[in-house]
Amino acid sequence: MLRRVIVVAAVAVLSLATGFVALAYPAIFRQSLAEPWLQLDAAEGRVGLDSQIVIEVRGSFSEEEIRESLDIRPPLPIGEDDLTVKRVAVFPWHEGFPWAKTRVTINPAKARLFQPETSYAIALKDQLLTFDTISLPRVVAAHITPAVDDVSGSVPTSSSIVLRFNEELIWQDEWLSVDPPADVTTTTRKTEAGGTEVVVMAVDRWENSTTYTVTVPEGVIDVHGHEGEEPFSLNFNTGPRPVVVGATPTGNHLSPESAVRVEFDRAMNRQSVEESLLLQPGATGIFEWESDLAFKWRPAALEYSTAYTVSLGGTSIDGDPLVPHKWSFSTHDPPIQLAIEGEETSPATLGAAVSGGTGDYSFEWSSGETSREIRVDLWFEEVRTYAVSVTSGDRSASAEFVVSGPPSPCPEEWRIINEEVCYNEEVLPGPVQVFTARVDLRDPDVGLSSLPAGDFLGQARTVSESSQPRDAVVAVNGDFFNISGPEHFTLGPMISGSSFVRAPQSGGVVLALDGALNSWVGPAKTLEVYVQPPDGDPHRLNSVNTAPGEDQLVLFNAYRASQLAVAADACYATFAPADDGASGAYAFSCGATTEVRLQVGEFVLVGRGAAADWLRQYVDQPLGFVISFALPDVEFLVGGSHVLISNGEPTEPIEGKRHPRTAIGVDAERYLYLVVVDGRSDDSIGMTLAELQGYLAGFDLVSAINLDGGGSSTLVLEGAVMNTPSDGKERTVASVVVVQLAQSPEACWHRFIRCN
């Protein structure tokens, strides 16, 4: 029993001893960490670029943990083969305990891992290692003496190239290459910083205007035996040869007394320049140097009409040869004589009378023409000076000539608007302000129209609003109109461009013109129109574009509206005539119709009562029209209230008060007069009809009537209202009389349609 106890006690003691050795002892007596190890270059005492670095850290870590903890500054690419990790412990089973250590080897294969001349810091766990790497020979500075010119970017051909290395070298010329090849010499010296400076010079001179590349390749070896890895190259441009930057004279037709002047970009050797100057054909002269950069050579008088060539050479002060320069010029031809011949009053033909020179002439007039003769057509009373320049060879001459325009087509002191239109304003005693436009109706470019103020009858517009879209040069208000109600219609008829615009039954008067510009004034009721079937009785056309009364036959066209409503007891027929002859209806209907189209180029006949029966009877036949009027070929007609002048004589005096007035008249020479009188103000008290009649008689008119007046009286000239309407602003009116230029209304192919 005692023996057994002794054995158990011995086993227990042995177990405690074994546990202490296996566990407690290594924890108490840890192995110390080795100092970081790296390889130093023997020559420089700094770390080599392929150095291996070993660092130990406390603890047992995997490679993944080491890579996560490793920090290298500046950063390095640590690849799979650039790092090994070894865990170090007393016994293999101690590796997981904190008293173990881990040995890390960076760059175990001793590859080229580090950069030269670099300070590195490696942090790993609680370890920090700093070191500097060795230097490799390389060019650290280079300059050219003299320095590159900031403006030209080039260097003189005598320049030196200075290369400064960071390390001391035993220079070898084979390390240097020059492209394009050039013969060079080199000298070296040691710099204060311990490097080497190499000076490269051309044996003679560098070539002008050449780009050189000086190269030092990799492989340069310093005194420590380190081989450079950075090639170096330097480009530089040599300055060009001196050149001529200015040479005169040049061109043709120069004075025979012209001097040669030359300017250089660099200072020149004067003697070499003077010896090189050559003028062909030859001439004598003297040199005048302004500086080393410029001179003049004054020749004796040169010959007329001669081409000369100048060539120049020489060298600069520093020996560079001048780029040869050659140029030409020619002297001018003999002078020419010039005069202008022609009429002094427009229209006129002017011609250049020229002699001398070479006989081959070119002409340029101040008006732009290039012919020997020009045609002059001036505005009325305009005065203009014409000049001509004539060139013959290298010589030219000029002359001037004054031409006056034709006399004014307008009465004295009247304003000329254009060849066809004159305008006048005057203040008569009273005072009375009168505004008059005179229009030459004989001119084929003049168009005279009597039209609705708006697009359709019944639409009221001001005179200026009505004239603008029609591009009227002159416009006045037209006939009297019903001023009340939603629509405003003239009281009298209107005909424009031979087309019937409106023809109501009227008790007023009209002024009419035919195609030969004959005028007529008289009662509006004398205008009668009949619709004629080929076989049957004609029917009186009671009105145009006016609602029909009982038993009346009326006509509507596109001047009235785009559509109309026909009364329930009416019949209507629609016509689209191809010419001014008789035409048949293409549509006919009786009864209530609310939407009858009124299209351009068409008209509609509407009959009520007996007229409807007549229309129903003859609608299938081609219907024509018979016009009964003093002027059978009437092209223009406007309505008014009173005839003021008829057959060249004033009518019986007309009583009445003073008001603003508008009148229209025509004289024997086919001049149209549009007259507006302001009234109802302190500036103008207006006229009575008798006073207006007397005023118009002063123009020797053949025919004249009174148009709507009062607040309607408005005269618009070239888009501007010339008078002062008595309402204080323009009044809207039902119709206008407009004058257009180059827009004469063409005669419509049928009198009872709207053509546009």
Quick one: three-class SS letters along 669-721? CCEEEEEEECCCCCCCCCECHHHHHHHHHCCCEEEEEEECCHHHCCEEECCEE
Does position 50 have pLDDT exceeding 70, yes or no? yes
511 plus 544 within the same structural domain: no
232 with 253, same domain: the answer is no
CATH number at residue 224: 2.60.40.3710
Do 597 and 517 belong together in one domain?
Answer: no
pLDDT greater than 70 at residue 278: yes
Comparing 233-242, 432-441, 522-531, the range with the smallest average pLDDT is 233-242
pLDDT at residue 457 tops 60: yes
Residue 1 belongs to a domain: no
Q: Are residues 77 and 163 in the same domain?
A: no
Question: φ, ψ for residue 343 (rounded to 5)?
Answer: -80, 150
In angstroms, how far is the first alpha carbon of the chain from the final one?
149
> Which of 27-41, 455-469, 613-627 bottoms out in mean pLDDT, i.e. has the lowest?
27-41
Confirm if 624 and 503 have CB atoms less than 8 A apart. Answer: no
User: Which amino acid makes up residue 489?
Assistant: F
Cα separation, 496 vs 741, whole angstroms: 15
What pLDDT score was predicted for residue 148?
Answer: 85
Measuring CA to CA, how many Å separate 69 from each of 64, 78, 80? 9, 13, 16
Question: In this predicted model, what pLDDT tens digit does every residue of 139-198 receive, in sequence order?
Answer: 999 999 988 888 888 898 889 999 999 999 999 999 999 999 999 999 999 999 899 999
CATH of the domain at 559: 2.60.120
Q: Determine contact, residues 321/315, Cβ cutoff 8 Å.
A: yes
Neighbouring residues of 389: CB distance < 8 A, sequence distance ≥ 6: 363, 364, 365, 396, 397, 398
Structural domain contains residue 7: no
Q: How many domains does the chain have?
A: 6
Q: What is the DSSP letter of 93?
A: G
* DSSP at 373: E
Q: Are residues 102 and 143 in the same domain?
A: no
**Among candidates 513, 506, 507, 510, which has minimal Cα distance to 522?**
510
Q: Could you give the C-alpha distances from 59 to 106, 123, 323, 649, in angstroms and in order?
A: 18, 16, 82, 138
pLDDT value of residue 592: 80
Residue 642 falls inside a structural domain: yes
How many helices (H) and strands (E) the chain has is answered by: 7, 55
Return the DSSP state at 488. Answer: B
Please state the φ and ψ torsions of residue 262, each to the nearest 5 degrees. -130, 140
Q: CATH code at 387?
A: 2.60.40.2700
Q: Which domain-ending residue is among 299, 331, 363? A: 331
Q: Is 616 left (phi over 0), alpha (psi -120 to 50) or beta?
A: alpha
Encode 164-180: b = buried (16+ Cβ within 10 Å), e = exposed. Answer: ebbbbbebeeebbebee
Burial readout 269-294 (b: 16 or more C-beta within 10 A, e: otherwise) = beeebeeebebeeeeeeeeeeeeebe
Model pLDDT, residue 3: 57
Least confident window among 461-475, 556-570, 616-630: 556-570
Task: Kindly state whether residue 37 falls inside one of the protein's structural domains.
Answer: no
Residue 608 within any structural domain of the chain:
yes
Q: What is the mean pLDDT of the chain?
A: 92
Which residues, listed in sequence order, are joined to residue 509 by a DSSP beta bridge? 523, 640
pLDDT > 80? residue 668: yes
Q: Say whether both 514 and 663 belong to one domain.
A: yes
CA distance 222 to 227: 7
Q: What is the pLDDT of residue 301?
A: 84
Q: What is the structure's pLDDT at 385? A: 96
Residue 281, preceding bond cis, omega within 30 degrees?
yes
Residues 424, 499 within the same domain: yes
In this predicted structure, what is the pLDDT of residue 743?
Answer: 60
State the Cα–Cα distance between residues 531 and 574, nearest whole angstrom: 14
- Residue 13 falls inside a structural domain: no
What is the structure's pLDDT at 411?
Answer: 94
Tens of pLDDT, residues 235-274:
999 989 999 999 999 998 899 999 999 999 999 999 999 9
Higher-pLDDT residue of 639 and 252 is 639
pLDDT at position 13 is 44
Residues 268 and 364 in one domain: no
The confidence band for 741, taking pLDDT boundaries of 50, 70 and 90, is: very high
Last-in-domain residue among 132, 166, 189: 132
Do the bridges between strand 553-557 and strand 543-544 make them parallel or antiparallel, or are there none, so unpaired? parallel
Question: Which pTM was predicted?
Answer: 0.58
Indicate if 255 and 325 belong to the same structural domain. yes
Same domain, 477 and 622: no
**Which domain-ending residue is among 84, 99, 132?**
132
Residue 594 and residue 636 in one domain: no
Phi, then psi, of 255 in degrees rounded to 5: -65, 140
Which range marks the domain in which residue 720 is found? 415-523+632-741
Tens of pLDDT along 471-498?
999 999 999 999 888 899 999 999 999 9
- Give me the DSSP letters along 241-286: PP-EEEEE--EEEE-TTPPEEEEESS-B-HHHHHHH-EEES---EE
Tally Cβ neighbours within 10 Å of residue 150. 6
pLDDT at 746: 63
Strand order in the sheet with 251-254: 251-254, 325-331, 307-312, 278-280
* CA nearest neighbour of 527 among 553, 502, 555, 557: 502
Q: Do the bridges between strand 432-440 and strand 421-428 make them parallel or antiparallel, or are there none, so unpaired?
A: antiparallel
The pLDDT score that the predictor gives to residue 569 is 87
Q: Is the pLDDT of residue 565 over 90?
A: no
| 47, part of any domain | no
On the question of pLDDT at 17 being above 50, the answer is no
Beta bridge partners of 307: 330
Contact at 8 Å (CB) between 492 and 510?
yes
Q: DSSP state, 340?
A: E
Q: What is the pLDDT confidence band of residue 387, given thresholds at 50, 70 and 90?
A: very high
Whether a cis peptide bond, with omega within 30° of 0, leads into 249 is yes
Question: Would you call 137 helix, strand, or coil by DSSP?
Answer: coil
**Residue 512 one-letter amino acid:** A
Residue 96, pLDDT > 70, answer no
Write out the two tokens for 613: 């029966």
Q: Which pLDDT value is given to residue 18?
A: 45
Question: Residue 321: pLDDT band by 50, 70, 90 thresholds?
Answer: very high
Task: Please report which confidence band the pLDDT of residue 594 belongs to, taking 50, 70 and 90 as the band edges.
Answer: confident
Q: In this structure, is residue 33 part of a structural domain?
A: no
Provide mean pLDDT across the span 675-691.
Answer: 97
User: Distance (Å, rounded) from C-alpha 468 to C-alpha 477?
Assistant: 14
The confidence score (pLDDT) of residue 21 equals 45
Residue 14 in this model has a pLDDT that exceeds 80: no
Residue 6 has pLDDT above 80, yes or no: no
Which ranges of 23-165 would DSSP assign to H, the alpha helix?
25-28, 63-69
User: What integer pLDDT is reported at residue 20 of this predicted model?
Assistant: 45
- Answer whether residue 95 shows pLDDT above 60: no
The pLDDT of residue 98 is 66
- φ, ψ of residue 610 in degrees (nearest 5): -60, -35
In this structure, are 318 and 340 located in the same domain?
Answer: no
Q: What is the pLDDT of residue 153?
A: 87
